[in-house]
Every structure is written in C-alpha cells, then in structure tokens.
C-alpha cells in the first residue's frame, strides 16, 4: 500500500535516533581533536630516521649511501656525507650523514626511500599533525628532527620492527660467531706459528692444529 515504505523508513530513522543515545555502536563519531582513532599498522605519512640505543646521533642507522636521495621521485631528500666514520651495529665502520634534510612539503609519501634503503635506516612515520605557520623553513626537517628511536618504530609498526630486529639480531649473532671463529682461527694460527717455531714436524702440534680449525 502507498506509504508503507515511508512508515518503515521512519521507524528505522527513529531507531537510529534513539539508538544514538543509548547504543554505543550507533554513534560512531570520533570527536577530533579530543579523541583520535588509532592508526593502522601500515599507515604512512612522512619518513623518519631510525636510531638504535639511547643516543640519537651515535646510534643512527643511516650510512649516507645516498640511494634514497637518488631514488626519491620529487627529490625532497638532501644528504651531505660526513668525513668521519662511526661503527654500526655489527661493529663495522660506516659513513654517516652530516646533513640529512627532508622537505615534507615536497614529499609525496611514496615510500620508495624506505623500499630501497639497504640498512633499514629510513622508515615511514605515522604522525600527520605537522602543520605550521612557517610554510618553508619549518617544513624542512633536518636529521635531529627526523631521528626517532627504534622503540618508537617498534611502537608504530610492531611487526615490521619485530622482523627487522630479529634479522639484525641474527646478523649480530653471525658476526659475533664469525668474529669468534676468526679470533679462534687467528689464535690457533698464532699458537701453530709459535708451535711451528718452537718444534719441527711434531705430530701432536699437527693434531692440535687440525682440531682447532
């Protein structure tokens, strides 16, 4: 009959109206900026530099290889290599950036810099409330502003950070084992050299040499 649909529709809207006061699931408004929705894990806004440990500049993973600068489509990254080197997480001496600037008014959040970085040094941040009155100077972030700790990275992207941390631990372990093996080999070589210098054609020394390799 004419009007039945209207009555059904009005009943539905009345249910919505009353439900928005009584039922949690009916009123889905999030009152920004007092309340905020949590972001998904794969949300991305602008890049930041990861550092391990407590000291930002000393623990910075970036080795200034400049790959991200070359790959960035709008060319918003500006890197100047430092002359001094510093050791990385496995102990090897690496370069470091003296200047690392990202212009976030140019950055288009394409994540290519993250994809090409071989050192897991640059990752995507989820912070978006970066508006400022100064349109040019304040939106050019330098390496001090870009450096954020690995704990922060683990908080915003737990599974990625977890995978990377696991990989780095394995590499550290491997490096340690290799170092230990190299040290043991060097020690055995030194001992064998000393042995070889002391005695000549000794079978026991050959056995010791054989077992220690």
Partner 1 sequence: MDQLFVNLKHWILSWSLWPDALKPLVSAMLTIAPILVVFPLMFALMTVIERKGLGRIQNRLGPNRVGPYGILQFAADGLKMLTKEDIVPRAADRVLHFLAPVVLIVPIMLSFSVIPYGRKMVPVDLDAGILFFFAVGSATELSIFMAGWSSHNKYALLGAMRSMAQMISYEMPLIISSLTVVMLAGTLSLVQIVEQQGGYLWGWLPQWNLFTPWGLAGFLLFFVATLAESNRSPFDLPEAESEIIAGYFVEYSGFKFALFFLGEYLGLFAISGLGISLFLGGWNAPLGILTWLPSWFWFFAKLAVLLAVFIWIRGTLPRLRADQLMNFAWKFMLPMTLLNVVVAAGWHYSGVAGWNLILRWVVCGGVILVAYQQLGRSFETKVTKRTYRYAE
Q: How far apart are CA 87 and CA 99, in angstroms?
A: 18
Q: How far apart are CA 71 and CA 167, in angstroms?
A: 25
* Residue placing its CB nearer to partner 1 in the complex, 7 or 185: 7
* Residue placing its CB nearer to partner 1 in the complex, 27 or 186: 27
Identify residues 17-76 at the interface with partner 1 (CB under 8 A).
Answer: 17, 20-21, 26-29, 31
Q: How far apart are CA 206 and CA 52, in angstroms?
A: 45
Residues in the interface with partner 1 (CB under 8 A) total 18
Out of 13, 131, 200, 211, the only residue in the binding site for partner 1 (CB under 8 A) is: 13
Out of 3, 33, 198, 201, the only residue in the binding site for partner 1 (CB under 8 A) is: 3
* Residue placing its CB nearer to partner 1 in the complex, 9 or 162: 9
153 closest CA partner among 25, 13, 19, 56:
56
Phi and psi at residue 53, to the nearest 5°: 85, -155
Report residue 77 as tokens.
């990254």
Phi and psi at residue 175, to the nearest 5°: -65, -40
- Contact status: 197 vs partner 1 (CB under 8 A): no
- Residues within the interface to partner 1 (CB under 8 A): 1-3, 6, 9-10, 12-14, 16-17, 20-21, 26-29, 31
């Amino acid at each position: 009959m004419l009007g039945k649909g209207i009555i059904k529709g009005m009943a539905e809207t009345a249910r919505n109206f009353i439900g928005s006061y009584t039922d949690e699931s009916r009123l889905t408004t999030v009152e920004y900026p007092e309340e905020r929705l949590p972001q998904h894990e794969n949300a991305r806004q602008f890049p930041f530099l990861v550092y391990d440990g407590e000291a930002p500049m000393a623990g910075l993973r970036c080795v200034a290889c400049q790959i991200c600068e070359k790959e960035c489509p709008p060319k918003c990254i500006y890197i100047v290599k430092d002359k001094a080197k510093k050791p990385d997480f496995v102990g090897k001496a690496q370069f470091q950036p003296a200047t690392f600037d990202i212009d976030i008014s140019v950055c288009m959040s394409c994540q290519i810099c993250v994809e090409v970085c071989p050192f897991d040094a640059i990752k995507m941040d989820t912070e978006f409330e970066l508006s400022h009155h100064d349109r040019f100077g304040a939106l050019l972030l330098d390496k001090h502003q870009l450096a954020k700790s690995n704990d922060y990275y683990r908080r915003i992207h737990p599974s990625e950070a977890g995978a990377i941390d696991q990989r780095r631990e394995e590499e550290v372990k491997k490096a340690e084992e290799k170092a230990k093996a190299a040290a043991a080999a060097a020690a055995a070589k030194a001992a064998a050299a000393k042995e070889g210098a002391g005695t000549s054609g000794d079978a026991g020394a050959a056995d010791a040499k054989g077992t220690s390799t």
